[in-house]
Structure 1
Amino acid sequence: MNFSDLGLSPILVKAVQEANYETPYPIQIEAIPAILQKRDLLGLAQTGSGKTASYILPILEELQKKEVNKSRSVPVLVIVPTRELAAQVEEVVRLFSKYLPRKVKSAAVFGGVSINPQMMKLNGTDILVATPGRLLDLISKNAISISELTTLVLDEADKVLSLGFKMEVDEILNRLPKQRQNILFSATMDEAVEGLIGKLLKNPVKIEIQTEEVTPDLIAQTAYLVDPERKGPLLRYLIQEGNWQQVLVFVSSKRTADNLTGKLNKHGIQTMALHGDKSQGARTEALKQFKAGKLRVLVATDLAARGIDIEALPYVVNYELPRSPKDYIHRIGRTGRAGVEGEAISLITEEDSHHWKVIQKKMKRWVELVDSDNLDF
């Protein structure tokens, strides 16, 4: 199966191929034709399943049939939970739309930065990618209108709701026209998401991508048993001894992120932190340098890392384990993509042992546990 078999025009397929998307992922094979048929869609899939392209590509195809937008009324709205994901999705729009004869204008809007520059660039926007709070701010200032929207995408719906945006989402939905296409993606199905699905979707096409399909065997997993006070030295040893470059390190708190970043930099390992207390400029710069391979280590909290999508990321380190097995799979799924092998390393203390067993049981895979006492660091 090729992208050209999914109903996409040759000029759009050209951009896809140039971006090294060789064959479509399972979710793209099912979602693209359904969206082109104007069906509502429910996609249950983890990050890394290829869901962004699965809705951006058919939306770009459909926009080619419409006149150039010259107003502040946006036809396509993508709601996302975080600033990083907003920037990431808008980057995908730009990547795939560059050869299209009917130019597509896109914009990403989010809080944490001045609203005025965002307001000034919104006229004529075809695809608006937005976090809920900033979208409502812009609507209240008459900078944008969603009253004539034709397509709504709610991406990572579970995260949007878990971050406390339910009231904002309800207000947004109340402002939308009744006749529209609705597309919803979520990694999990809890009561809140089910309620939103019932309110939003009409006779949807349902696509569910199993976890195993987005955690390929291309990810080599290793765990190290280590005393809590020796975690930092062990991480430095692994990075330096293995000459690791482009290492994404996950931690559980902003404080740990800052402390670990300081210690790594002190030992000559170029590192930046990514978390919610950083300014948008600092977060954007950290991601830019890391993606370009100019930054050796990026230390991130789970929420801040939602928008990190690097095709050939070689190393992911769980400096601290996440609370749930699903979050673990989400973390390690940042590597081992697009046919490129990757490594996932976890630092396990005695206190983590039971939780680590639960994670392995849930993902149905046992990971070699190396005793770090046998290493010379």
Structure 2
Amino acid sequence: MSFESLGLSHNIIKSVRKLGFLKPFLIQEQTIPVILSGKDLIGIAQTGSGKTACFVMPILEKIQNEDVKKDRNIQVLVLAPTRELVIQIDEVFRAFTENLKREIRTMAVYGGVSINPQMKGLFGVEILVATPGRLLDLIEHKALSISQIRYLVIDEADKMFQLGFEEEMNKLFAMMPAMKQTTMFSATLNEKVEEIKKRLTIEPVLVEIKQQEINIDQIEQIAYHVTDETKGPFLRFLIKEQNIKQALIFTSSTRIADHLVEKLKKNKIPATAIHGQKSQGARSTNLKNFKEGETQILVATDLIGRGIHIESLNFVINYELPRSPLDYVHRIGRTGRANESGTAITLVTDGELQHFRTIQKKMGKKVDLIYTDNVDLHGY
């Protein structure tokens, strides 16, 4: 099945192609037509299954044809439980807005940072991605209104209640209009998700995708124990000492990706970054240079990394661990393709050890941890 067959217009398809996606994931095949039809939806799928684009593409498809008055009334509200997920979803929206019929402003808001810049930036925003607590703060400051939203998306709905957002969510639901299209995604269909259905009085279409196994037997996995201070120097040591000709490195944020590229360049290692904050032209050029071997190191976030398809890539390096085990598998799956061997290297700090054990357990494969205390990193 192609993206064109899902009912998406040329404007969206153009972004799809530029991001490097060849065909829809299974969850996208089954949910995009439902959302385009205007029906409510619950999608059950594991993190890392391509679900963010499931709601990003059809929502942008629908609102790009509409003239909306610029004010503080949000048209599309996406709720997510963590700052990291909010930022990631906003990056996906931004990546798909470049070729639309008109400009559509998106914004991510979350706690832990000053509220004032967020308040000032909200005028004219049509798509808001938010954590519940910060959204309530902004509403109390009269920085925005959700009384006229037409599209509500709740991502990782099961985690919303596990992380204690129940009271905040109920307050937000009370402020929303009864008539709206609701889309929810969750890893499981549990009683809390059922509660949301009842609270919103919806009877959504249910789409459930079983977790797909990815063959990782051809990939050699190596993990190195590092500290926060030695992680950067050890990475540079590894690239030079092992004479790594080309590698795709994953980080968890655009900020870390750019910082890492800067450090690599200072140490005479040709590197470039590719992520949602880069312009389309920069992303295309950087990916082209990497594929053609002109750039030694490409640093990517998970969003853009999913669209990178290179037949012969010997090394993938996890500079930071991803949020989910499935994301980890998708990352290392960039190597070891077309029956070729590949190597996946992961740098693990003390703070990531437990999460890395969880990844190994879910993956069903043990990865030996090599300690680097005795490695001489002077000059790196």
Mapped to 1, the partners of 2:90 and 2:343 lie a distance apart of 28
1:19-38 matches, cutoff 5 A: 19-38=19-38
* Cα pair 2:250 2:302 within 8 Å, conserved: no
Q: How far is 1:49 from its partner? A: 1.3
SS at match of 1:111: coil
C-alpha distance 343-111 of structure 1, shift in aligned 2 (>3 A): farther
Conserved 8 A contact 1:69-1:126: no
Q: Is contact 1:43–1:184 with CA below 8 Å preserved after alignment?
A: yes
Separation in 1 of the partners of 2:235 and 2:175? 50
Look up the SS of the partner of 2:179 in the other structure.
Answer: coil
Check whether the contact 1:247–1:314 (CA below 8 A) recurs between aligned residues: yes
The 1:219–1:96 alpha-carbon spacing in structure 2 relative to 1, beyond 3 Å, is: farther
The whole-number CA distance in structure 1 between the counterparts of 2:106 and 2:218 is: 34
Number of the residue aligned with 1:195: 195
Question: Is the 2:42–2:183 contact (alpha carbons within 8 Å) kept by the matching residues of 1?
Answer: yes
Q: Give 1:1-377 correspondences, 5 Å limit.
A: 1-200=1-200, 202-212=202-212, 215=214, 217=216, 220=219, 222=221, 241-242=241-242, 243=244, 247=249, 308-311=302-305, 312=308, 314-316=316-318, 327-336=324-333, 343-344=343-344, 363=363, 365-366=364-365
What SS is found at the alignment partner of 1:89?
Answer: helix
CA distance in structure 1 between the partners assigned to 2:186 and 2:218 by the alignment? 23
Check the 8 A contact 1:45/1:186 in 2, yes or no: yes
1:275 aligns with none
3-state secondary structure, aligned to 1:144: coil
Equivalent residue letter for 2:317: Y
> What is the alpha-carbon distance in structure 2 between the residues aligned to residue 218 and residue 85 of structure 1?
30
- Give the match's secondary structure for 1:333: helix
Aligned CA distance change for structure 1 residues 73 and 361 (closer, same or farther; 3 Å) = closer
In 2, are the aligned partners of 1:41 and 1:201 still within 8 Å (CA)? no
User: Which residue of structure 1 lines up, in the alignment, with residue 255 of structure 2?
Assistant: none
70 and 248 in structure 1: CA distance in 2 versus 1, 3 angstrom threshold:
closer
AA partner of residue 34 (structure 1): V
SS of the aligned residue for 1:184 comes to strand
**1:359–1:54 distance in 2 versus 1, CA, 3 Å:** closer
Q: Which amino acid aligns with 1:315?
A: I
Q: Which residue of 2 aligns with 1:303?
A: none
Contact 2:219 2:335 in 1 (8 A): no
Q: Compute the displacement of 1:225 (Å).
A: 11
CA distance in 2, matches of 1:65, 1:234: 50
Summarize the Cα distance change of 1:345–1:160 in structure 2 as closer, same or farther, 3 Å threshold: farther
> How many residue pairs end up in the alignment?
327
Greater shift in the superposed pair: 94-103 or 53-62: 94-103
Question: Percent identity among equivalent residues?
Answer: 41
- Cα displacement (A) at 1:224: 6.7
> Quick one: which amino acid aligns to residue 212 of structure 1?
Q
1:51-71 deviations in Å (ceiling 9; x for gaps): 111111100111023222322
Unaligned regions of 5+ residues in structure 2, if any?
Answer: 253-263, 270-274, 309-314, 349-354
- Write the distance in 1 (CA, Å) between the matches of 2:85 and 2:356: 28
CA drift at 1:221: 5.2
Q: Measured at CA, do residues 178 and 361 of structure 1 come closer, stay the same or move farther in structure 2, by a change above 3 Å?
A: same
SS of the residue corresponding to residue 32 of structure 1 reads helix
Shift of 1:87: 2.2
CA contact under 8 A between 1:27 and 1:54: conserved in structure 2?
yes
Given the superposition, is the C-alpha separation of residues 128 and 218 from structure 1 closer, same or farther in structure 2, using an over 3 Å criterion?
farther
Closer, same or farther in 2 for the Cα pair 1:359/1:106, shift >3 Å? Answer: closer
CA distance in 2, matches of 1:297, 1:8: 30
Shift of the alpha carbon at 1:347? 9.3
Q: Is the 8 A contact 2:157 2:193 kept in 1?
A: yes
TM-score by length of 2: 0.68
Give the direction of change, closer, same or farther, for the CA distance of 1:344–1:209 in structure 2 (3 Å limit).
farther
Give the Å deviation of 1:187.
2.1
- Check 1:150–1:337 CA distance in 2 against 1; reply closer, same or farther (3 A cut): farther
Which residue does the alignment assign to 2:312?
Answer: none
Q: 1:318 to 1:138 in 2, by over 3 A?
A: closer
Please give the alpha-carbon distance, in whole angstroms, between the structure 1 residues aligned to 2:84 and 2:367: 33
| Cα distance in 2, alignment partners of residues 72 and 113 from structure 1 | 21
